[in-house]
Structure 1
Amino acid sequence: MTFNQLLYFQTVSEYENYHKAAEKLYLSQPSLSRSISSLEKELGVTLFEKQGRGIVLTKAGRLFQEYTERILSECEVAKTKMNEIASGHGYIDIGYIFPLASHYIPHKVRKFLNIEENAKISFNFYQNHSPAIAQKVKMGELDLGFGAYIDNDDELAFYPLQKQKMVIITPNEHELNQYDDVAIQELMNYPIIGYDKGSGPGRYSKRLYRRLDMKPNIIVTCPDEHSIMALVKEGFGIALVPEVDSLDETSIRIHSIKDMDLFYRHYMFWMRDRYQLPAVQRFIEFIKKESED
């Protein structure tokens, strides 16, 4: 059974006349008759029977007509949706890490949608850690990911985004609060709230400590800045974190690092050799231009 056979059947049932249906379909009448006969043979039922000078649907034909109309209607919907996607409409599925959830992603998506040609695009959002996001990108469940760079992953293309200055955060009541700038070595003198070793900032911190030959007393690790900030606020220790938008300066103190410029960078990533829909391509180019500006 082919799409054309369904279309031919629907047209014949509409006109109840092979000659008129053939004219409508720009086919010869014998070709149309053969196609319907082939369909009847495949289905094992008679779809039409003669009545006077025309033809009418049999009981089986009327039942088959219900399914045919449903199928052709769904095909039209699918065609319309594909045309929308081809013209730049459709859905974009993105995943991003928690530090980008409070401002960066909502702000960029809203700015993108405010452009007239993007107004009918819809977004689906997913939050998790970078490795989980990368896995969903590879499986095709997400179009794009925003998070940490993943070493030795040749399947993904990475584009560098914003740099965030690394800072040291302390509780509101802490002896370091007399200083705006704090030396990185002060991390050796207090309990440290660190990142999970599998997270991007966790890997960054580990490389930094190794480079500086430091072995701070990391008493607990957390998945994100929200968890770290909560523990710092309650006086469990201090922490080295990127200066993300969600840091609450009313509950903690934020210190610049003395004599060192340390930055942590986020990335946008996607499957290197996978076809991207026009809307996704436009969003990638938009984010790239935003990053350059």
Structure 2
Amino acid sequence: MDERRLASFVVLAQELNFTRAARRLHMTQSTLSAAMKALEAELGVELFARSTRSVNLTEAGWAFLPRARDAIEAIDAARAAVEPGGELRGQLVVGMLQGLTMVDLPALAGDFHRRHPQVRLHLETSRRGTAGLVEDIRHGRIDVAFAGTSIEDARLRVVPLRSYTLHLVVPPEHPLADRDAVTMRDIAEETFIDMPPGFGQRAVVDEAFARHAQTRTVLVEVTDLTTIPAYVAQGLGVAVLPAELATSAATPLTAIPIADEAPTWTLGIVLSAVRPPPRAVHAFLDQVQHHIRPDRAF
């Protein structure tokens, strides 16, 4: 089976768009289309459901994706075993969270590229936040992801980077600002600023309210956690956030402990615990700690 076709299949499965995939692969759309038809003919199944408006993986395509990635990694490992120096090759796909600055991602990517120039490094975000990144890990669409969540899934491995205890964050003039602590019942009637459903921060807070049989109103939803304090400062609502974000905000905010809950979540690196990670993942993880910014809240 042609390694180039396998690599093209994996990229198209990630992009689900012939134009973007062809651009990443430095080939024409017609060449990519021909390669996929040849691969499907070789396998005797359709891997993609194509229409004039969309491209999606078929059931066979979903099943084939992790196997294709494994095959590419096996070829890379076999090549490295006989090549002088055993240089890493192949592709590494890293999922990211919007607004993450605690890890200097540009410097990390640059360092990794200089050390392993034959590895095609691809960085991407998910419009569904942590939920989307975790799903991509499970299905083999990405290799590793920075995600903020409290994952309890035997199929996933989490390398913790920093844990956060959440506080109620309010403007200094808010009626609750002078309290030493609040309860979930105290704050249930407030209007909130939060992330959309599916994001790790939102999931933790929603679960905390549910455990206390409380509901709440979310007025503003943003996909960048670090922008929430600015909305709170404008008096649009309160938020449940890491206290570090309140103290680092441009406008001073008050962080109040939540006495009966103290919800927490962990920023970490997520990868599959089911599939052996490619060698490039190990090399990437080795570099992460060198690019942590301890002075950044998130």
TM-score (norm 2): 0.54
Change (3 A) 1:191 1:144: same
CA-CA distance at 1:146 after TM superposition: 1.6
Q: 1:194-216 CA deviation, whole Å, 9 max, x = no partner? A: 33232212221122112234333
Question: Deviation of residue 217 (structure 1)?
Answer: 3.7
Q: Counterpart of 2:125? A: 127
In structure 1, the residue matched to 2:272 is 271
How far, CA to CA, are the matches of 2:263 and 2:92 in structure 1? Answer: 33
Cα pair 1:89 1:118 within 8 Å, conserved: no
Going from structure 1 to structure 2, the CA distance change for 1:103 and 1:266 (only over 3 Å counts) comes to: closer
Percent identity (aligned)? 15
Change (3 A) 1:262 1:136: closer
The aligned amino acid for 2:164 is Q
Aligned residue in 2 for 1:156 = 156
Aligned residues of 1:195 and 1:223 also touching (Cα < 8 A): yes
Question: Amino acid of the residue matched to residue 194 of structure 1?
Answer: D
User: Could you say which residue in structure 2 is the equivalent of 1:257?
Assistant: 257
1:165 alignment counterpart? 165
Alignment of 1:34-183 (within 5 A): 83=83, 86-88=86-88, 92-99=92-99, 101-106=100-105, 109=108, 113=111, 118=115, 123-128=121-126, 129-149=129-149, 155-171=155-171, 173-178=173-178, 181-183=180-182
Gaps of 5+ in 1: 1-78
Q: Deviations over 1:76-118 (max 9, x none)?
A: xxx79x959943477543112225x2222538837x939xx94
Length, aligned pairs only: 209
Go from structure 1 to structure 2 and tell me whether the alpha carbon gap of 1:270 and 1:86 turns closer, same or farther (over 3 Å shift).
farther
* Divergent runs of 4+, >6 A: 288-291
Q: Partners of 1:104 and 1:219 in 2: how far apart?
A: 30
Q: 1:147/1:105 Cα in 2 relative to 1: closer, same or farther (>3 Å)?
A: farther
CA, structure 1 residues 119+282, in 2 after alignment: closer, same or farther (shift >3 Å)?
closer
Asked if the contact 1:163/1:265 (under 8 Å) is kept, the reply is yes
Distance 1:244 1:88, change over 3 A: farther
RMSD: 4.2
Distance 1:85 1:235, change over 3 A: farther
- Cα 1:183–1:145 change in 2 (3 A) is same
The match for 2:48 is: none
Query: CA 1:189–1:130 in 2, change beyond 3 Å: closer, same or farther?
Result: closer
Q: 1:277 to 1:87 in 2, by over 3 A?
A: farther
Q: 1:85 to 1:201 in 2, by over 3 A?
A: farther
TM-score scaled by structure 1?
A: 0.54
1:206-233 CA-partner distances (Å, limit 9, x unpaired) = 2211223433343344434245334322
Contact persistence 1:242–1:264 (CA under 8 A)? no
- Largest Rg, 1 or 2: 1
- Consecutive unaligned residues of structure 2, counting only runs of 5 or more, are 1-78, 293-298
| Secondary structure, aligned partner of 1:274 | coil
Q: Secondary structure at the match of 1:183?
A: coil
